[in-house]
Chain A
Amino acid sequence: MLYLQILVNGLLLGGLYACIASGFSLVWGVLNVINILHGSFIVIGSYVGLLAHQQFGINPFLTVPVAGLLLYGFGYLLQRGVINRAVGQPVLVTLTLTFGLELLVNNMLIAGFTADYKKVVLENPFGQIELGALFVPVDRLLSMVLALLLTGILYWMLRGSKLGRAIVAVRMDREAAALMGVKVNSIYAVTFGLGALMAGAAGSMMSMIYPISPIISTAYLGKAFVICVMGGLGSVPGAIVGGLALGVIESFGSLFFSAELATTFSFVLLILLLIFRPTGLMGRRGYE
């Protein structure tokens, strides 16, 4: 029964991980940019949740759209204004660029909010569902459902909408996409914005679960990276599978080892995976 509880805890967290990773994976897949800023985007989303809660007593679930749209705008402008100039350069160049931007943004966050850990503590928690000996906190369940819903919408948008098809086309062959009349630079900016939106939305919900501080951005980034490699690059279903898997792995990792070692544990598993199944859990995919 304990194992079942651990499994459920892992899945609850894994839904949020999927949401985080899908945005990171999308940007990596379409722009071939490893966005080091992704962790800070999540942290900003968390501060949106925290501030709204502190100032106005608003539940962080309600700030999910606010954080999402705010980060979309930020991501879009950042891509339009700065990163588009480096797209198409070798990965090391874009990596260095987003790393530099990460230093900038993260230090601004530290200057603005300090590095102290904060947390949203709900005055009226939603309580929990009890199934026999199994406990499912309702706020966690809600975050998982909402996070997976957002990820599902992203997936649907990529497959079923005109904009989504343009994004996929740019990912496959940006010259051929340009020949179809797609404005590649706009698609890059929209894609980067969508990646940031997923981060911001997840961050807002994370504010109820994880301690909030600018310095945990690297932990988020590491998770997104691990999931992305596990699930396969640029694939939304891969991000879902990888996210849920990482949630469960971390959950069991902290049971068998310790909470501090959970992340290390997942990186070790990642290395093993890379050795034995280098294309990721879902295999290599062309689409999404």
Chain B
Amino acid sequence: MSAPFFRADGVEAGYGGVQVLWGVGAELERGQIGCIVGSNGAGKTTFMRCIAGLNAAWKGTIEVDGRAIASHPPHQILSAGVALVPEGRRLFPGMSVRDNLLMGTFLRRDGSAAINADLDRALGMFPVLRERLSQDAGTLSGGEQQMCAIGRGLMSRPRLLLIDELSLGLAPRIVEQLTHILREINEQGVTILLVEQDVITALELADIGFVMDRGRIVKSGPTEELADDPVIREAYLGIV
């Protein structure tokens, strides 16, 4: 059996002297959608930041397509094909939607024709953004901001797309639209790992689920199995 496309093992990390992650591991095959769920403060964002290189991993390995990326600088990790859509979207206010999307192409060297084609593709996915191209990204609604942030992430042509808090603060109709688009992106060959606080959405969208609690993965497996797990049904779905 070949090694999984994405693999994290024994990742420890934190802030200053405070340890947050206590040996986190996760694996995804190429083309899968994975989802991390867990309560507030469990360490989901910290883990995503470790993968993207914003936080150093104190210990452990992170590999994408056989390439070790743990504690590499963010630009190298992006070059390795990993893009993070961060928690809170973090668009550049004062820059137009177009310039925000183009920031995603910062490292690309394949010329403006290819970049324009991808811009067109992203706008095809998120048609509302087309009407707002020259508008200040800071004036977008929450849903539009998330679309712009995902579009910006896609503009780097990632092979692994990380999304931290997909649906937070968004209307159900928008969330449905986003999950639909993520499936589409996934079908085009992009492996996806997302953090999602809405467990129902998470289990529905993802192939593999990871439950994080206090800096550890306490449960993982195919989402159908997790959905039937009595502990998860009780803790996260409110069903006994």
Listed in ascending order, the chain A residues whose CB lies under 8 Å from chain B are 162, 165-166, 168-169, 172-173, 175-183, 285-287
Contact = CB atoms under 8 A, between A and B. Distances in A.
B14 to A, nearest CB: 17
Given A169-B103, A175-B54, A179-B52, A286 B94 contact: yes
Given A162-B106, A165-B103, 13 more contacts: A168-B94, A169-B92, A175-B54, A176-B86, A177-B103, A179-B52, A179-B86, A179-B90, A180-B78, A181-B74, A181-B75, A285-B94, A287-B95
Contact of B94 (A179, A180, A287): A287
B83 interface: yes
B92 A176 contact: yes
A176 B104 CA distance: 10
A177 B86 CA distance: 11
B222 interface: no
Contact residue range for chain B? 20 to 34
B127 interface: no
B75 A183 contact: yes
B198 interface: no
A180 B154 CA distance: 11
Interface string B67-110: 00000011100110001101000111111000100111011000
Contact of B75 (A176, A178, A285, A287): A178
A182 B106 contact: yes
B86 A181 contact: no
Contacts of B152: 180
- Minimum-distance CB pairs A-B, first 4: A286-B94, A287-B94, A181-B107, A176-B90
Contacts of B53: 178
A183 B84 CA distance: 16
A181 B156 contact: yes
A63 B111 CA distance: 37
B196 to A, nearest CB: 19
B138 interface: yes
A169 B78 contact: no
A29 to B, nearest CB: 12
B42 to A, nearest CB: 21
Given A165-B103, A172-B95, A181 B78 contact: yes
B120 to A, nearest CB: 20
B92 A179 contact: no
B106 A180 contact: yes
Nearest to B75: A181
Nearest to B149: A176
A88 B83 CA distance: 24
Contact of A180 (B54, B73, B103): B103
10 contacts: A165-B95, A166-B106, A168-B95, A175-B86, A178-B54, A179-B78, A179-B90, A180-B156, A181-B74, A181-B106
A89 to B, nearest CB: 15
B90 A175 contact: yes
Nearest to A287: B94
Contacts of B99: 165
Listed residue (B53, B75, B102) with the most chain A CB atoms within 10 angstroms of its CB: B75
A182 B104 CA distance: 10
B102 A179 contact: no
A24 B91 CA distance: 26
B79 to A, nearest CB: 7
B221 to A, nearest CB: 30
A233 to B, nearest CB: 13
A172 to B, nearest CB: 5
Given A165-B95, A287-B95, A180 B90 contact: no
Contact of B54 (A169, A179, A183, A287): A179
Contact of B73 (A162, A166, A183, A286): A183
A230 B102 CA distance: 33
Contact of A172 (B52, B54, B92): B92
Interface in B103-142: 103-104, 106-107, 138
Contacts of A165: 95, 99, 102-103
Interface in B28-58: 52-54
| Highest count of chain B CB atoms <10 Å: which of A177, A179, A286 | A179
B136 to A, nearest CB: 8
Nearest to A184: B74
Nearest to B90: A176
A252 B73 CA distance: 53
A6 B101 CA distance: 48
B83 A179 contact: yes
Contacts of A162: 106
Contacts of B90: 173, 175-176, 179
B92 A173 contact: yes
Most-contacted residue by chain A among B83, B86, B95, B138 (CB, 10 A): B95
A285 B75 CA distance: 28
B75 A168 contact: no
